[in-house]
């Protein structure tokens, strides 16, 4: 892969933002999951589907959905929970005129996730699909956190899941990721770049 073909984390974060935006055809999936309180079950289903995926395109699709659903779920946590984690991470997330509620906007949630993309210790176990015991252990741990309703542990798990998914996506061949992103048409982070390339030809 040449330097120009490498995937940037910021572009993948833009893809996540586009997919959870209200105009996205996929946003209803994430919104309904949260409204009907089945986000946990859907997220576990996506994790299981990821383990069984037999193509890189499918893996990218599942990883993107995991990151999107995690980001939407994180946005539903309390301001206090996010601020507590912000302090732990040593971040200073932007606020609109000192408005505490603005800390929950999509850009800030993605900033929180991005802070973890270089340290996805929980999600890295999924990168080795030849070792099935560890992913199963992780799913059990996640179920325990979910059923135990331990807020700070669940929040950290969701951030790690999203960060790990984004980090993993960045390791795939750029063509596969851009092909998936094409479902968003002109809103794809790479749409303008590809249009420019076509114009040059």
The count of other CB atoms within 10 Å of the CB of residue 195 is: 11
Give the Cα separation of 103 and 105 in Å (integer).
6
- Does this model's pTM top 0.95? My answer is no
Give the Cα separation of 123 and 135 in Å (integer).
9
User: For 86, how many CA atoms within 13 A lie in the half-sphere containing its CB?
Assistant: 20
Per-residue pLDDT of the chain (201 residues; tens, 9 = 90+): 444 456 889 999 999 999 998 878 788 888 888 876 778 888 888 888 888 888 999 999 999 999 999 999 998 899 999 998 888 888 889 998 889 889 899 999 999 999 887 765 544 545 444 444 555 565 666 666 665 555 777 888 888 889 888 988 988 999 999 999 998 888 888 886 654 444 334
For the chain, the straight-line distance linking the first and the last C-alpha, in angstroms and rounded, comes to 21
pLDDT of residue 137: 62
What would the DSSP string read from start to end of 9-70?
Answer: HHHHHHHHHHHHSTTSTTHHHHHHHHHTT-HHHHHHHHHHHHHH--SHHHHHHHHHHHHHHH
């Amino acid at each position: 892969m040449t330097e120009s073909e490498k995937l940037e984390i910021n572009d993948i974060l833009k893809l996540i933002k586009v997919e959870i935006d209200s105009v996205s055809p996929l946003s209803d999936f994430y919104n309904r999951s949260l409204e009907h309180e089945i986000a946990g079950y859907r997220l576990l289903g996506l994790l299981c589907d990821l383990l069984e995926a037999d193509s890189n395109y499918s893996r990218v699709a599942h990883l993107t959905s995991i990151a999107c659903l995690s980001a939407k779920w994180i946005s539903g946590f309390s301001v206090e929970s996010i601020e507590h984690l912000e302090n732990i991470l040593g971040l200073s997330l932007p606020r609109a005129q000192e408005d505490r509620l603005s800390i929950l906007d999509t850009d800030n949630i993605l900033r929180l996730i991005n802070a973890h993309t270089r340290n996805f210790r929980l999600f890295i176990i999924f990168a080795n699909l030849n070792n099935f015991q560890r992913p199963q252990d992780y799913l059990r741990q996640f179920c325990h956190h979910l059923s135990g309703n331990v807020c700070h542990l669940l929040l950290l798990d969701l951030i790690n899941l999203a960060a790990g998914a984004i980090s993993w996506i960045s390791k795939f061949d750029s063509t596969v990721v851009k092909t998936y992103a094409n479902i968003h048409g002109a809103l794809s982070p790479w749409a303008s770049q590809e249009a420019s390339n076509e114009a040059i030809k």
